[in-house]
Amino acid sequence: MRNPVTTRKTSFMGPKDAFPADVFPQERKFTMKKPVVFLLFALLAIFATACGTAATPTQSPPPTQAPATAVPAPTEAPTEAPTMAPAPTEIPFDVTAAEEEGYWYSRYNLGNLVFRSGMGVTFMPQPEMMQAMMQAVDANPEDGDTVMPPVNPALLQAVYASGAPHYITKLDPADFATQRWNPDSFDSTVTTRAMGWTIIKESEWAKQFHVDNHFGTVEDNFGAQWRFVGMVLNAESKMQLQYALQNLKNDAGLFVNSDGTLDYTGNWVMLEALSDAAGTLNAEALPHSATNRYHNPEQGAMFQGAADTLYAALADRQPEGIEETSLAIQALAWYAVNTANDANVQSALEKIAAFGDALSAASPANATENALAIRGLVEAYRLTGDDAYLNAAANAFDALSADFNP
Protein backbone atom coordinates (compact mmCIF):
# COMPACT_ATOMS: atom_id res chain seq x y z
CA MET A 1 0.00 0.00 0.00
CA ARG A 2 1.29 3.46 -0.83
CA ASN A 3 2.15 5.93 1.91
CA PRO A 4 -0.22 8.89 1.38
CA VAL A 5 2.37 11.33 2.74
CA THR A 6 5.30 10.21 0.64
CA THR A 7 3.37 9.85 -2.66
CA ARG A 8 1.42 13.09 -2.31
CA LYS A 9 2.59 15.93 -4.57
CA THR A 10 3.12 19.46 -3.29
CA SER A 11 -0.24 20.68 -4.52
CA PHE A 12 -3.72 21.06 -3.15
CA MET A 13 -4.91 19.29 -6.36
CA GLY A 14 -2.82 16.18 -5.95
CA PRO A 15 -3.41 12.95 -7.89
CA LYS A 16 -6.24 10.78 -6.75
CA ASP A 17 -4.06 7.72 -6.26
CA ALA A 18 -2.16 9.59 -3.57
CA PHE A 19 -5.11 9.15 -1.19
CA PRO A 20 -7.10 6.17 0.05
CA ALA A 21 -9.65 4.85 -2.40
CA ASP A 22 -12.66 5.76 -0.27
CA VAL A 23 -11.84 9.47 -0.58
CA PHE A 24 -12.45 9.40 -4.34
CA PRO A 25 -15.09 6.67 -4.95
CA GLN A 26 -15.53 5.08 -8.42
CA GLU A 27 -17.04 7.58 -10.90
CA ARG A 28 -20.14 6.57 -12.86
CA LYS A 29 -21.23 7.70 -16.37
CA PHE A 30 -24.67 9.25 -16.60
CA THR A 31 -26.56 9.11 -20.03
CA MET A 32 -29.91 10.79 -20.78
CA LYS A 33 -32.42 8.83 -22.79
CA LYS A 34 -34.14 10.40 -25.84
CA PRO A 35 -37.76 10.73 -24.51
CA VAL A 36 -36.45 12.69 -21.61
CA VAL A 37 -34.56 15.04 -23.94
CA PHE A 38 -37.66 15.82 -26.06
CA LEU A 39 -39.74 16.53 -22.98
CA LEU A 40 -37.17 19.01 -21.66
CA PHE A 41 -37.03 20.92 -24.97
CA ALA A 42 -40.82 21.22 -25.02
CA LEU A 43 -40.99 22.65 -21.54
CA LEU A 44 -38.25 25.19 -22.34
CA ALA A 45 -40.12 26.41 -25.41
CA ILE A 46 -43.37 26.96 -23.48
CA PHE A 47 -41.50 28.87 -20.73
CA ALA A 48 -39.76 31.17 -23.27
CA THR A 49 -43.09 32.04 -24.98
CA ALA A 50 -44.75 32.92 -21.69
CA CYS A 51 -41.87 35.25 -20.76
CA GLY A 52 -42.03 37.03 -24.12
CA THR A 53 -45.79 37.81 -23.97
CA ALA A 54 -45.85 38.90 -20.34
CA ALA A 55 -43.43 41.86 -20.66
CA THR A 56 -44.28 44.90 -18.52
CA PRO A 57 -45.04 48.10 -20.59
CA THR A 58 -42.48 50.90 -20.26
CA GLN A 59 -43.78 54.01 -18.44
CA SER A 60 -42.64 57.57 -19.20
CA PRO A 61 -40.73 59.34 -16.44
CA PRO A 62 -42.57 62.16 -14.60
CA PRO A 63 -42.06 65.73 -15.93
CA THR A 64 -39.02 67.55 -14.59
CA GLN A 65 -39.81 70.34 -12.11
CA ALA A 66 -37.53 73.05 -10.75
CA PRO A 67 -36.62 72.25 -7.16
CA ALA A 68 -38.17 74.48 -4.53
CA THR A 69 -35.87 76.59 -2.44
CA ALA A 70 -35.63 74.70 0.81
CA VAL A 71 -35.19 76.42 4.16
CA PRO A 72 -32.53 74.49 6.09
CA ALA A 73 -33.63 73.23 9.44
CA PRO A 74 -31.64 74.55 12.42
CA THR A 75 -28.74 72.30 13.39
CA GLU A 76 -29.11 70.83 16.81
CA ALA A 77 -26.13 70.14 18.97
CA PRO A 78 -25.45 66.41 19.25
CA THR A 79 -26.53 64.87 22.47
CA GLU A 80 -23.52 63.62 24.40
CA ALA A 81 -23.79 60.34 26.19
CA PRO A 82 -23.40 60.78 29.93
CA THR A 83 -19.98 59.81 31.28
CA MET A 84 -20.29 56.85 33.55
CA ALA A 85 -17.72 56.41 36.25
CA PRO A 86 -16.24 52.91 36.12
CA ALA A 87 -17.21 50.62 38.93
CA PRO A 88 -14.46 50.41 41.53
CA THR A 89 -12.24 47.38 41.09
CA GLU A 90 -10.59 45.85 44.08
CA ILE A 91 -6.82 45.65 43.66
CA PRO A 92 -5.54 42.30 44.92
CA PHE A 93 -2.57 43.60 46.92
CA ASP A 94 -1.58 41.47 49.88
CA VAL A 95 1.53 40.58 51.86
CA THR A 96 2.81 38.29 49.10
CA ALA A 97 2.42 41.01 46.47
CA ALA A 98 4.16 43.54 48.71
CA GLU A 99 7.08 41.16 49.25
CA GLU A 100 7.35 40.52 45.51
CA GLU A 101 7.39 44.21 44.62
CA GLY A 102 9.84 44.98 47.41
CA TYR A 103 12.13 42.21 46.16
CA TRP A 104 12.40 43.59 42.63
CA TYR A 105 12.60 47.27 43.59
CA SER A 106 15.37 46.45 46.05
CA ARG A 107 17.28 44.25 43.61
CA TYR A 108 17.27 46.65 40.67
CA ASN A 109 17.88 49.79 42.73
CA LEU A 110 20.97 48.22 44.26
CA GLY A 111 22.32 46.83 40.98
CA ASN A 112 21.99 50.15 39.19
CA LEU A 113 23.75 51.98 42.02
CA VAL A 114 26.73 49.72 42.70
CA PHE A 115 27.37 48.31 39.20
CA ARG A 116 26.37 51.03 36.74
CA SER A 117 25.85 54.52 38.16
CA GLY A 118 29.42 55.58 38.91
CA MET A 119 28.06 57.51 41.92
CA GLY A 120 31.10 57.15 44.14
CA VAL A 121 34.77 56.27 44.24
CA THR A 122 35.12 53.42 41.74
CA PHE A 123 37.55 50.51 41.54
CA MET A 124 38.21 47.61 39.19
CA PRO A 125 39.19 44.22 40.65
CA GLN A 126 42.35 42.58 39.42
CA PRO A 127 41.84 39.92 36.70
CA GLU A 128 43.07 37.23 39.11
CA MET A 129 40.39 38.22 41.62
CA MET A 130 37.68 38.13 38.93
CA GLN A 131 38.85 34.71 37.74
CA ALA A 132 38.78 33.34 41.29
CA MET A 133 35.21 34.57 41.82
CA MET A 134 34.11 33.00 38.51
CA GLN A 135 35.64 29.66 39.46
CA ALA A 136 34.04 29.81 42.92
CA VAL A 137 30.52 29.88 41.46
CA ASP A 138 30.84 27.51 38.48
CA ALA A 139 32.46 24.09 38.85
CA ASN A 140 31.87 23.17 35.20
CA PRO A 141 32.00 26.10 32.72
CA GLU A 142 31.48 23.64 29.86
CA ASP A 143 27.94 22.68 30.91
CA GLY A 144 26.32 25.52 28.97
CA ASP A 145 25.91 27.81 31.99
CA THR A 146 28.87 30.16 32.00
CA VAL A 147 29.56 33.43 33.81
CA MET A 148 29.69 36.48 31.55
CA PRO A 149 31.20 39.44 33.43
CA PRO A 150 29.52 42.73 32.47
CA VAL A 151 31.24 45.17 30.13
CA ASN A 152 32.57 48.37 31.75
CA PRO A 153 31.06 48.08 35.25
CA ALA A 154 31.60 50.84 37.82
CA LEU A 155 32.14 49.05 41.14
CA LEU A 156 32.15 51.33 44.17
CA GLN A 157 34.59 51.38 47.09
CA ALA A 158 32.92 54.51 48.47
CA VAL A 159 29.36 55.75 47.91
CA TYR A 160 28.44 59.39 47.48
CA ALA A 161 25.62 60.92 49.49
CA SER A 162 23.21 61.40 46.58
CA GLY A 163 22.72 61.75 42.84
CA ALA A 164 20.04 61.84 40.15
CA PRO A 165 19.54 58.55 38.26
CA HIS A 166 19.48 60.04 34.75
CA TYR A 167 21.56 58.67 31.88
CA ILE A 168 23.77 61.02 29.90
CA THR A 169 24.35 58.93 26.78
CA LYS A 170 22.44 56.55 24.52
CA LEU A 171 21.61 53.33 26.36
CA ASP A 172 23.22 50.06 25.41
CA PRO A 173 22.03 47.41 27.91
CA ALA A 174 25.12 45.28 27.18
CA ASP A 175 27.53 48.12 28.03
CA PHE A 176 27.41 49.40 31.60
CA ALA A 177 29.41 52.48 30.61
CA THR A 178 26.28 53.82 28.88
CA GLN A 179 24.36 53.53 32.15
CA ARG A 180 26.34 56.06 34.16
CA TRP A 181 24.31 58.71 35.98
CA ASN A 182 24.82 62.41 35.43
CA PRO A 183 27.90 63.29 37.54
CA ASP A 184 26.81 66.93 37.71
CA SER A 185 24.01 65.79 40.04
CA PHE A 186 26.29 64.06 42.56
CA ASP A 187 26.78 65.23 46.11
CA SER A 188 30.27 63.76 46.49
CA THR A 189 30.20 63.77 50.28
CA VAL A 190 30.88 60.26 51.61
CA THR A 191 28.55 59.79 54.56
CA THR A 192 28.34 57.08 57.18
CA ARG A 193 24.65 56.57 56.42
CA ALA A 194 25.10 56.13 52.66
CA MET A 195 28.03 53.79 53.18
CA GLY A 196 26.37 51.80 55.96
CA TRP A 197 23.05 51.25 54.22
CA THR A 198 24.76 50.27 50.95
CA ILE A 199 26.97 47.74 52.73
CA ILE A 200 23.96 46.22 54.52
CA LYS A 201 22.06 45.93 51.27
CA GLU A 202 25.03 44.32 49.52
CA SER A 203 25.49 41.80 52.33
CA GLU A 204 21.82 40.86 52.38
CA TRP A 205 21.61 40.50 48.59
CA ALA A 206 24.79 38.46 48.52
CA LYS A 207 22.93 36.03 50.81
CA GLN A 208 19.91 36.08 48.49
CA PHE A 209 22.08 35.07 45.54
CA HIS A 210 23.41 32.20 47.65
CA VAL A 211 20.05 30.43 48.13
CA ASP A 212 20.61 26.93 46.77
CA ASN A 213 17.12 26.12 45.49
CA HIS A 214 16.75 29.47 43.73
CA PHE A 215 20.13 30.23 42.15
CA GLY A 216 21.63 26.75 42.32
CA THR A 217 24.94 25.41 43.59
CA VAL A 218 28.33 25.45 41.89
CA GLU A 219 27.62 22.00 40.39
CA ASP A 220 24.32 23.05 38.79
CA ASN A 221 23.98 24.04 35.14
CA PHE A 222 21.95 27.15 35.94
CA GLY A 223 22.36 30.30 38.02
CA ALA A 224 26.11 30.82 37.59
CA GLN A 225 25.68 34.44 36.53
CA TRP A 226 23.66 35.33 39.63
CA ARG A 227 25.97 33.42 41.95
CA PHE A 228 28.76 35.53 40.44
CA VAL A 229 26.76 38.71 41.15
CA GLY A 230 26.59 37.59 44.79
CA MET A 231 30.37 37.25 44.87
CA VAL A 232 30.82 40.76 43.45
CA LEU A 233 28.39 42.25 45.98
CA ASN A 234 30.26 40.58 48.81
CA ALA A 235 33.56 41.93 47.44
CA GLU A 236 32.14 45.45 47.20
CA SER A 237 30.85 45.37 50.78
CA LYS A 238 34.33 44.46 52.02
CA MET A 239 36.00 47.16 49.91
CA GLN A 240 33.59 49.77 51.28
CA LEU A 241 34.15 48.69 54.89
CA GLN A 242 37.89 48.93 54.40
CA TYR A 243 37.49 52.40 52.86
CA ALA A 244 35.43 53.55 55.84
CA LEU A 245 37.91 52.14 58.37
CA GLN A 246 40.84 53.79 56.60
CA ASN A 247 39.27 57.15 55.66
CA LEU A 248 36.30 57.94 57.93
CA LYS A 249 37.24 56.71 61.40
CA ASN A 250 38.31 59.33 63.98
CA ASP A 251 40.47 59.07 67.08
CA ALA A 252 37.42 58.42 69.30
CA GLY A 253 36.60 55.23 67.39
CA LEU A 254 33.58 56.80 65.67
CA PHE A 255 33.01 57.32 61.96
CA VAL A 256 32.66 60.83 60.53
CA ASN A 257 31.47 61.99 57.13
CA SER A 258 34.07 63.05 54.59
CA ASP A 259 33.30 66.69 55.39
CA GLY A 260 34.20 66.10 59.05
CA THR A 261 30.67 66.08 60.50
CA LEU A 262 29.72 63.47 63.10
CA ASP A 263 26.39 61.71 62.63
CA TYR A 264 25.49 59.39 65.51
CA THR A 265 22.60 57.85 63.63
CA GLY A 266 25.01 56.99 60.81
CA ASN A 267 27.31 55.32 63.35
CA TRP A 268 24.52 53.00 64.49
CA VAL A 269 24.00 52.10 60.82
CA MET A 270 27.73 51.39 60.48
CA LEU A 271 27.58 49.15 63.59
CA GLU A 272 24.88 47.10 61.86
CA ALA A 273 26.89 47.00 58.62
CA LEU A 274 30.04 45.76 60.34
CA SER A 275 28.11 43.15 62.36
CA ASP A 276 26.21 41.85 59.33
CA ALA A 277 29.34 41.58 57.19
CA ALA A 278 31.26 39.83 59.99
CA GLY A 279 28.43 37.35 60.52
CA THR A 280 28.30 36.62 56.78
CA LEU A 281 32.03 35.95 56.55
CA ASN A 282 32.17 33.85 59.72
CA ALA A 283 29.22 31.54 58.95
CA GLU A 284 29.97 27.98 57.87
CA ALA A 285 26.74 27.95 55.87
CA LEU A 286 24.34 30.72 54.91
CA PRO A 287 20.54 30.58 55.32
CA HIS A 288 18.84 28.26 52.81
CA SER A 289 22.20 26.96 51.67
CA ALA A 290 24.46 24.04 52.54
CA THR A 291 27.66 26.08 52.08
CA ASN A 292 29.09 29.60 52.25
CA ARG A 293 31.15 30.74 49.27
CA TYR A 294 31.97 33.97 51.13
CA HIS A 295 33.38 32.15 54.18
CA ASN A 296 36.56 33.92 55.33
CA PRO A 297 37.13 33.74 59.11
CA GLU A 298 40.18 36.01 58.96
CA GLN A 299 38.25 38.85 57.32
CA GLY A 300 35.26 38.12 59.55
CA ALA A 301 37.39 38.52 62.67
CA MET A 302 38.76 41.83 61.40
CA PHE A 303 35.32 43.32 60.82
CA GLN A 304 33.95 41.88 64.06
CA GLY A 305 36.82 43.52 65.92
CA ALA A 306 35.92 46.81 64.25
CA ALA A 307 32.30 46.33 65.37
CA ASP A 308 33.44 45.73 68.95
CA THR A 309 35.47 48.94 68.83
CA LEU A 310 32.54 50.95 67.50
CA TYR A 311 30.22 49.44 70.12
CA ALA A 312 32.58 50.62 72.84
CA ALA A 313 32.70 54.10 71.29
CA LEU A 314 28.89 54.24 71.40
CA ALA A 315 28.63 52.89 74.96
CA ASP A 316 27.52 56.15 76.54
CA ARG A 317 25.37 57.35 73.68
CA GLN A 318 21.70 57.99 74.47
CA PRO A 319 19.81 58.13 71.16
CA GLU A 320 17.86 61.29 70.40
CA GLY A 321 14.50 61.04 68.70
CA ILE A 322 12.53 58.18 67.20
CA GLU A 323 14.77 57.64 64.20
CA GLU A 324 18.04 57.26 66.07
CA THR A 325 16.41 55.16 68.81
CA SER A 326 14.90 52.74 66.28
CA LEU A 327 18.14 52.40 64.31
CA ALA A 328 20.13 51.92 67.51
CA ILE A 329 17.89 49.00 68.51
CA GLN A 330 18.24 47.43 65.06
CA ALA A 331 22.04 47.79 65.11
CA LEU A 332 22.34 46.39 68.62
CA ALA A 333 20.26 43.36 67.58
CA TRP A 334 22.71 42.55 64.77
CA TYR A 335 25.67 43.17 67.05
CA ALA A 336 24.36 40.99 69.90
CA VAL A 337 23.77 38.06 67.55
CA ASN A 338 27.21 38.21 65.91
CA THR A 339 29.74 39.34 68.53
CA ALA A 340 31.90 36.77 70.26
CA ASN A 341 32.16 38.95 73.39
CA ASP A 342 29.66 37.49 75.90
CA ALA A 343 29.80 40.53 78.18
CA ASN A 344 28.92 42.77 75.26
CA VAL A 345 25.99 40.53 74.36
CA GLN A 346 24.43 41.07 77.77
CA SER A 347 25.00 44.82 77.80
CA ALA A 348 23.63 45.11 74.26
CA LEU A 349 20.43 43.33 75.34
CA GLU A 350 20.09 45.72 78.26
CA LYS A 351 20.47 48.68 75.94
CA ILE A 352 17.82 47.22 73.60
CA ALA A 353 15.37 46.99 76.51
CA ALA A 354 16.06 50.55 77.66
CA PHE A 355 15.75 51.95 74.14
CA GLY A 356 12.61 49.86 73.60
CA ASP A 357 11.01 51.46 76.64
CA ALA A 358 11.84 54.91 75.30
CA LEU A 359 10.40 54.02 71.89
CA SER A 360 7.21 52.65 73.47
CA ALA A 361 6.66 55.98 75.24
CA ALA A 362 7.38 58.11 72.16
CA SER A 363 4.67 59.87 70.15
CA PRO A 364 5.33 59.51 66.41
CA ALA A 365 4.40 62.66 64.49
CA ASN A 366 4.04 61.17 61.00
CA ALA A 367 4.00 57.98 58.97
CA THR A 368 7.79 57.76 58.77
CA GLU A 369 8.18 57.93 62.54
CA ASN A 370 5.41 55.35 62.98
CA ALA A 371 7.22 53.00 60.62
CA LEU A 372 10.51 53.52 62.45
CA ALA A 373 8.82 52.86 65.78
CA ILE A 374 7.30 49.62 64.49
CA ARG A 375 10.62 48.37 63.17
CA GLY A 376 12.52 49.14 66.37
CA LEU A 377 9.85 47.72 68.67
CA VAL A 378 9.61 44.47 66.72
CA GLU A 379 13.38 44.02 67.06
CA ALA A 380 13.18 44.78 70.79
CA TYR A 381 10.52 42.07 71.14
CA ARG A 382 12.51 39.54 69.11
CA LEU A 383 15.66 40.01 71.20
CA THR A 384 14.04 40.25 74.65
CA GLY A 385 10.80 38.29 74.25
CA ASP A 386 8.90 41.03 76.12
CA ASP A 387 5.32 41.23 74.81
CA ALA A 388 5.09 44.89 75.84
CA TYR A 389 7.22 45.84 72.84
CA LEU A 390 5.07 43.77 70.48
CA ASN A 391 1.91 45.42 71.83
CA ALA A 392 3.47 48.86 71.40
CA ALA A 393 4.40 47.95 67.83
CA ALA A 394 0.79 46.89 67.19
CA ASN A 395 -0.46 50.25 68.47
CA ALA A 396 1.96 52.07 66.18
CA PHE A 397 0.79 49.94 63.28
CA ASP A 398 -2.85 50.82 64.00
CA ALA A 399 -1.94 54.50 63.98
CA LEU A 400 -0.06 54.08 60.70
CA SER A 401 -2.98 52.21 59.13
CA ALA A 402 -5.44 54.91 60.16
CA ASP A 403 -3.51 57.42 58.03
CA PHE A 404 -3.49 55.18 54.99
CA ASN A 405 -5.69 56.35 52.11
CA PRO A 406 -6.30 53.35 49.82
The alpha carbons of the chain give a radius of gyration, in whole angstroms, of 40
Mean pLDDT of 226-231: 98
Cα distance between residue 373 and residue 326, in whole Å:
6
* DSSP conformational letter for 120: E
pLDDT digits (tens, 9 = 90+) for 385-400: 999 999 999 999 999 9
Contacts of 369 (CB under 8 A, 6+ apart): 322, 323, 362
* DSSP conformational letter for 316: T
DSSP track, 155-199: EEEEEEEE----B-S---TTBGGGG-B-GGG-EEEE-HHHHHHHH
pLDDT on residue 23: 34
Contacts of 313 (CB under 8 A, 6+ apart): 252, 253, 254, 267
- Evaluate whether 229 touches 209 at the Cβ level (below 8 Å): yes
Is the pLDDT assigned to residue 11 strictly greater than 80? no
Tell me, rounded to whole angstroms, the distance of Cα 288 from its chain centroid: 20
pLDDT digits (tens, 9 = 90+) for 12-39: 333 333 333 333 333 333 344 444 334 3
Closest by CA to 358, choosing from 385, 394, 320, is 320
Contacts of residues 127-135 at CB distance under 8 Å and 24 or more positions apart, as own/partner, are 129/235, 133/228, 133/231, 133/232, 133/235, 134/228
pLDDT digits (tens, 9 = 90+) for 283-323: 999 999 999 999 999 999 999 999 999 999 999 999 999 99
pLDDT on residue 403: 82
User: Phi then psi for 162, rounded to 5 degrees?
Assistant: -165, 170
Cα distance between residue 16 and residue 23, in whole Å:
8
pLDDT on residue 58: 42
Least confident of 48-52, 174-178, 228-232: 48-52
pLDDT on residue 89: 76
Burial (CB count within 10 angstroms: exposed 0-12, middle 13-18, buried 19+), residue 349: middle
What letters, b where the CB count within 10 A reaches 16 and e where it falls short, cover 60-88? eeeeeeeeeeeeeeeeeeeeeeeeeeeee
pLDDT digits (tens, 9 = 90+) for 103-151: 999 999 999 999 999 999 999 999 999 999 999 999 999 998 999 999 9
pLDDT digits (tens, 9 = 90+) for 80-102: 677 777 877 777 788 899 999 99
